[in-house]
Chain A
């Protein structure tokens, strides 16, 4: 990981400096020309926007970091009253007003990169982060080995060639099964694992043939989401599946990770050592739908936490906490008319290959109901069938979003203990 940093006065005179800095940095960090241009364009728009809305002689810290498979640009600035509405994917192109033109830039920025997020940084500052992933060649078909059923196997961290082979085997054995598209690209999977953002373990026989594997990544600071275990021609090899899961759990022990979560368990998944935290419905383009029970387990002893729960879902929450034996201090809370700000802001994370979007609320607002409806409209137009909305029960204002969600047709489906500031509840929309 390499980092370049500049501190630059917030004035449009310095726009060419930013453009040159980002363009050159991202090229040096290995992004192709087209990707570098998009990242530069997004950075230019963000810088211009910040110049317009931040008054006075301020200095902006800009950090460009070359990660193994993506480049990030971070803008650090003092907390200000930003109108973040433009972060909504539903933000519309500007009308005639001067004000809305200001935010058009952010809209362009958001759509030019793979991810745009804003969060609190240390020292009363905010950080606006742009991420652009590198592009990888489409995988070429290769001759795959015949994999025998393995009665004995060894677990290991895969080498580069093994990760690539795994990437080729996965779509063959799990053709109609949802998994992240990135796993299909051997080079990308290699980079994701070597970046340490993803972890991976495989099971091999004495000849080095791969019988299966498991991949995991951090959902946030406390929760790991894992994918698999994927077994290749190892029907009912429970021992291999269990060993793969255990090796993942052992690797996470004595870290800050509190829980492990699996959204799309495979048939081989050892359910007995996990807790069912609800079911989600996976809608496929052909209008088929598959019910996926989601599994979770904690890695540490539960010392309890608090949650803010709107009364509309009180019975659901109570029943789930009882079923899961979770020690929780529950504060029932309802919106009581206080001013929340004019515009709500949601961040949307897309998984195009799964036809899936996950929405997370960034700011509350009076327009919450309309904003959700506008999001749904866009998802409908884009044929996105799997819409999830995450509510952090540790943040009181997020509880106020729940009534609007329910009104729009979302239903609470799963609870991820400690998935947010406290527990996270995932709502799903029925298309």
Chain B
């Protein structure tokens, strides 16, 4: 038998791409770092968990149903979203987490030689999906920690297909207000698909923050991402969605992998959408947590970047990866920011006050 010639089989853009290695399971990390507990402050999860109604759905899911395929296109969830936003159910696509819908969009619009545009210091998956699919990811530096509209417009050329805007931006928490976003969309003038990732939409209370789904009738090139992983506490079930103009979504649907969203996720998400009290409670603890951290960080003399969303970024006087290891030894897991191109910064998920206090105490010990 001839030896396998991977060199010949693998495209060059895959060869040069490095696979993302996620962190080990908590139990393994606890053993490695000799800690009996672990506070997860690294993934911006909701420390309240899922809304009670969604938790009930999960509890009631009978094991025998595991043998049955789920709805292939999340039929009932799309109906519910359509009612909520007064749109057609076919204007929604549900994915196995928002990460999957990023892939759908890139596959639907890009071909060899095309490019996408996003920021250099933002959620990494837009850049990754484009790169490992063989398309150029043009990265525009943030300006004052926010997406730079002028910089993006300058980088557009005839082969630019998609512009990804993370609003609010992860990890800086900055956002474009409605006026700025509309001005940008007007200047794009339907030449490109504009994706606005609203993963942290439900956390934002500012009045000038745009609800992009409501702008879809006005801007057919606008595609909006939302997720059930953050506010709705269903990160472990992997479910997110996109919304857009009917023709646009019908095009994206062609690249959509049906049956990728499991039955529990669909039903839990369906139940979660009704719970407004959960959103209020979450917003309250996030606000309290931010207020507490602000005071403590000022007292410690540590610069921080705080905006919308359930996270805060802190600049440390030591390197972030060392801080990560030292905090892990105390059972506190944060996200290092060198990978987001913010060396010596950490991002911390806002949690309840006792955990925030434990974090601050841990931070004091290592600095």
Name A residues whose Cβ lies closer than 8 Å to a Cβ of B: 122-125, 245-246, 249-250, 253-256, 272-275, 297-304, 325-327, 329
The answer for the CA separation of A304 and B339 in the assembled complex, in Å, is: 18
Asked if B344 is an interface residue, CB under 8 A from chain A, the answer is yes
Among B7, B23, B124, B343, chain A packs the most CB atoms within 10 A around the CB of B343
Interface residues of A, dominant DSSP: loop
10 nearest A-B pairs in the assembled complex, by CB-CB distance: A123-B3, A256-B18, A298-B321, A327-B32, A304-B32, A250-B341, A325-B325, A249-B343, A297-B319, A273-B319
The answer for the CA separation of A302 and B328 in the assembled complex, in Å, is: 10
Contact B3 A300 (CB under 8 A): no
Contact B4 A123 (CB under 8 A): yes
Asked if B324 is an interface residue, CB under 8 A from chain A, the answer is yes
Asked if B45 is an interface residue, CB under 8 A from chain A, the answer is no
B7 to chain A, nearest CB (A): 7
Name B residues whose Cβ lies closer than 8 Å to a Cβ of A: 3-7, 18, 21, 23-24, 28-29, 32-33, 120, 124, 127-128, 317-319, 321-322, 324-326, 328-329, 335-336, 338-341, 343-344
The answer for the CA separation of A302 and B6 in the assembled complex, in Å, is: 29
**Given contacts A122-B5, A303-B23, A325-B325, could you give 20 more A-B pairs where the C-beta distance is less than 8 Å?**
A122-B3, A122-B6, A124-B3, A250-B343, A253-B340, A254-B127, A254-B128, A254-B339, A254-B341, A272-B318, A273-B343, A273-B344, A274-B319, A297-B321, A298-B322, A299-B321, A300-B21, A300-B321, A302-B324, A326-B325
Contact A297 B336 (CB under 8 A): no
Chain B, Cβ-Cβ closest to A327: B32
Contact B4 A275 (CB under 8 A): no
A167 to chain B, nearest CB (A): 27
Q: Please name 16 pairs of A and B residues whose Cβ atoms are closer than 8 Å in the assembled complex, sorted by A.
A: A123-B5, A124-B3, A245-B343, A246-B344, A249-B343, A253-B341, A254-B18, A254-B127, A255-B18, A297-B319, A300-B321, A300-B336, A301-B336, A302-B321, A303-B24, A325-B326
| Contact A253 B338, CB 8 Å, known A123-B5, A125-B3, A327-B32 | yes
Contact A304 B127 (CB under 8 A): no
Chain B, Cβ-Cβ closest to A245: B343
Task: Note all chain B residues with C-beta closer than 8 A to A124.
Answer: 3
Task: Note all chain A residues with C-beta closer than 8 A to B3.
Answer: 122-125
The answer for the CA separation of A298 and B324 in the assembled complex, in Å, is: 10
Chain A, Cβ-Cβ closest to B366: A325
A196 to chain B, nearest CB (A): 11
B367 to chain A, nearest CB (A): 11
Task: Note all chain A residues with C-beta closer than 8 A to B5.
Answer: 122-123
| Contact A122 B4, CB 8 Å, known A246-B343, A256-B18, A303-B24 | yes
Task: Note all chain A residues with C-beta closer than 8 A to B318.
Answer: 272-273
Contact A327 B325 (CB under 8 A): yes
Chain B, Cβ-Cβ closest to A303: B24
Chain B, Cβ-Cβ closest to A325: B325
Contact B7 A302 (CB under 8 A): no
| Contact A300 B24, CB 8 Å, known A254-B127, A275-B319 | no
The answer for the CA separation of A381 and B3 in the assembled complex, in Å, is: 46
Task: Note all chain B residues with C-beta closer than 8 A to A300.
Answer: 21, 321, 336, 338-339
Task: Note all chain B residues with C-beta closer than 8 A to A298.
Answer: 319, 321-322
Contact B322 A297 (CB under 8 A): yes
B356 to chain A, nearest CB (A): 21
Contact A301 B321 (CB under 8 A): yes
Task: Note all chain B residues with C-beta closer than 8 A to A272.
Answer: 317-318
